[in-house]
Structure 1
Amino acid sequence: MIKVREDALQHLEIAEYLINSIRDGEFKVDEKIPSENTLCRKFQANRHIVRQAIARITNLGWVTPVQGKGCYVNRISQPIQYELSSKTRFTENMDRNGIKHSCKLLHWEKGLPNEDEQENLEISHEEMVYRLEILRFIDEKPISVTTTSIPEKEVPDLEKHFKAFQSLYAILIDHYYFRPVRNKSIFQAVLPGLKDSELLEIPESVPIIQIESLANHPGGSPVEYSVSRLRGDMNKCLVEF
């Protein structure tokens, strides 16, 4: 039992050494990291443990394996500061920081609310909601996917405005004359499901940041309930009070 624990710790130790060496510039972008044999000798570890370490940093995006040649260091993007306040809007955040961004409406539907939507939006089980799934990109790289729900009565015929979709809030402001104000957000580190893993282009073993949010009309009644899933390696959140 003790031996198993030592092995588990050793592969994490090797992975941490490799990550720190990349961060410190010892192994530079597009350069090859030490071979399995070199790492086995350096850490007096067997090949299985070294391969576990390399698999870990591969899954975390630090290196890319090339068949028959070894693993090469990737260019790691600096995390984007995602600002959260009562009036946060993704598009404005990115524009203010001069960051190239875009978004894509993956899917939309109109249907009866689930229990979470009923509770958060304070609607009955018979009131219809629009449910949108939006994928956002930074420099053409997926950064987050959000499922947003809005009562149909607040945005009748919403689908008429989906052509050339660029921003949900732009539609709300330009066509329905209101801008949701964030009321609360709940943060949680979770593992992505298969679908989110594919959309965000990350392994299922890498945690993401899930943000469950409720936004109100300026007058106070709930109008938008959303669940965002953000890549943890590309986001850092700033909460403003």
Structure 2
Amino acid sequence: MVDKNSPLPLYYQLEEQIKKTIETEELQPGDALPSERELSESYQISRMTVRQAITNLVNKGYLFREKGKGTFVSSQKFEQNLQGLTSFTEDMKARNLVPGSKLLHFEIYPADKDIRATLSLKDEELIYKIKRLRLANNEPIAVETSYLPVSLVPGLTPDILASSLYTYIENELELTIGHASQTVEAAIVDAEDQQHLHINKGVPVLLIQRETFLENGTPLELVRSSYRADRYKFKIDIERK
């Protein structure tokens, strides 16, 4: 129950209690939360206070609403540490999840000005454009678009992309991937990608742009990925120096 004599706001106390039931797995992903009326009567607090607690938990990703149906417990977010350079496949396997990929687009064409500048390519040099839907345990997590020089990664085919691209680059082509530069920002995706990711119009995603280099400094890849913000989070450890 909530303590009305506590200096902590009532909505915050309720929020913490609901969060605890989720974190201790008393409430499981997909479980329905009691209605605002039921929670209001159970805790003897106003429905406005209940609504504020629930809204905060929805905004933090613990809960999600379905219009006309109610409020439900969200699945746990996948977490990726930003300090290591791994492929999506490697990242999912490290979490004991089953990685999956659906090829949405595969094309070879001359690189445009921006791509040429990023990958240090000559005029009219050919690149691969690869767009894939990334899955974890068969759930859509991200839409990923990659650009790679054909001259650097020859022989790439849709069949090869059914497994790990990085494995092909390192094991078959014997190239050594060295480092990457990555940025993260909030964005809104178009209607097509909303459908791929199973998100509603206007829901923001985490837009990740990564430039990957070989050990000798040669640009290897430009990747732009739109991750579901309700299912994915990124972690970085920072030291004070």
Q: CA deviation at 1:18?
A: 8.9
Q: Pick one of 107, 132, 135 that aligns with 2:133.
A: 135
Q: Pick one of 211, 217, 221 that aligns with 1:220.
A: 217
CA contact (8 A) 2:102 2:134 kept: yes
Q: CA deviation at 1:184?
A: 0.7
Q: Distance in 2 between matches of 1:168 and 1:19?
A: 43
Q: CA deviation at 1:205?
A: 2.1
SS of the counterpart of 1:129? strand
Q: CA deviation at 1:138?
A: 1.4
Q: Percent identity?
A: 22
Q: Which residue of 2 aligns with 1:105?
A: 103
Distance 1:185 1:206, change over 3 A: same
Q: Distance in 2 between matches of 1:66 and 1:225?
A: 38
Q: Which residue of 1 aligns with 2:124?
A: 126
Distance 1:44 1:187, change over 3 A: closer
Structure 1: state its 5+ residue gaps. Answer: 1-14
SS of the counterpart of 1:150? strand
Q: Which residue of 1 aligns with 2:19?
A: 23
Q: Distance in 1 between matches of 2:197 and 2:15?
A: 22
Q: Structure 1 counterpart of 2:99, which letter?
A: H
Q: Which residue of 2 aligns with 1:201?
A: 198
Q: Structure 2 counterpart of 1:220, which letter?
A: G
Superposed CA RMSD in Å reads: 3.7
Give yes or no for the alignment of 1:62 onto 2:66.
no
Q: CA deviation at 1:225?
A: 0.8
Q: CA deviation at 1:44?
A: 6.7
Q: Structure 1 counterpart of 2:183, which letter?
A: I
Distance 1:87 1:163, change over 3 A: closer
Q: CA deviation at 1:22?
A: 4.5
Q: Which residue of 2 aligns with 1:34?
A: 35
Q: CA deviation at 1:103?
A: 1.9
Structure 2: state its 5+ residue gaps. Answer: 1-10
TM-score (norm 2): 0.73
Q: Distance in 2 between matches of 1:163 and 1:220?
A: 25
Q: Pick one of 177, 180, 186 that aligns with 2:177.
A: 180
- 162-171 or 20-29, which deviates more: 20-29
Q: CA deviation at 1:129?
A: 0.3
TM-score (norm 1): 0.73
CA contact (8 A) 1:191 1:205 kept: yes
Q: CA deviation at 1:42?
A: 3.4
- Structure with greater helix percent: 1
Aligned residues: 219
